[in-house]
Amino acid sequence: AEPGLFVEAIIAPEFQPEAIEILTTRPKWKANVRLMRVGPLAPPAAGWAYRPIEGGLLLQQADVLPDEETEWQVVTEAKPTKAQMADLRFAWAMVRFVKSNAITVCKDRMLLGAGAGQMSRVDSVEIAISKAGDRVNGSVLGSDAFFPFPDSIERAAAAGIGAIIQPGGSRNDQAVVEACNKHGLAMLFTGRRHFRH
């Protein structure tokens, strides 16, 4: 390649003749486009996700939606309202796309704040609440993994969050549920985590 030469590369399983003509004859592209036909792509192995790592690939179980809501359990004395339930579904769908330790704060099916990539779940809660700002009151919170301690619940309650969705499965689940009951928060366990690395 010549110094200063900019080249567009397009890689695809196949190109239709019309696409080849457009890409190779239009003045904007013709001299600087390279097409590479790679043939049919094999579908990914069902249920598996691949992550590139230095020196290889990491194969892990895919995190797929939809979740089985029939497996979700309300574990608190308070039950979510219909509006909270819609927001909990949304918070749970959103949290799977946030880097762990992930927390989402949602209301009216809008993501108000997200906390991501922290070493501590309560730090992610703090970030998500901070990002939600003055809209946090009456919102719901989603967590991609269980709460190891009730500290996140205490912080959520102080901010005005009304319901929480999380996988459950901590040794301290009972203490977390008790903290929700103390503050009148509804909590759902999904039985499945959305841990994203």
Check whether residue 161 and residue 111 sit in a common domain: yes
Check whether residue 73 and residue 22 sit in a common domain: no
Q: Residue 111 and residue 153: Cα distance in Å, rounded?
A: 19
Strand partners, 11: 36
Pair of tokens at residue 94: 């959103």
Check whether residue 28 and residue 83 sit in a common domain: no
Could you report how far apart the first and last alpha carbons of the chain are, in Å?
37
173: domain CATH number is 3.40.140.20
Look up tokens 């009151």; give the residue.
137
Q: pLDDT (tens digit, 9 = 90+) per residue, 171-181?
A: 999 999 999 99
Q: Is residue 185 included in any domain, yes or no?
A: yes
Expressed as residue numbers, the domain containing 20 is 8-37
Per-residue pLDDT at 63 exceeds 80:
no
Q: Is residue 115 included in any domain, yes or no?
A: yes
Q: Residue 44 and residue 56: Cα distance in Å, rounded?
A: 17
State the pTM of this model: 0.72
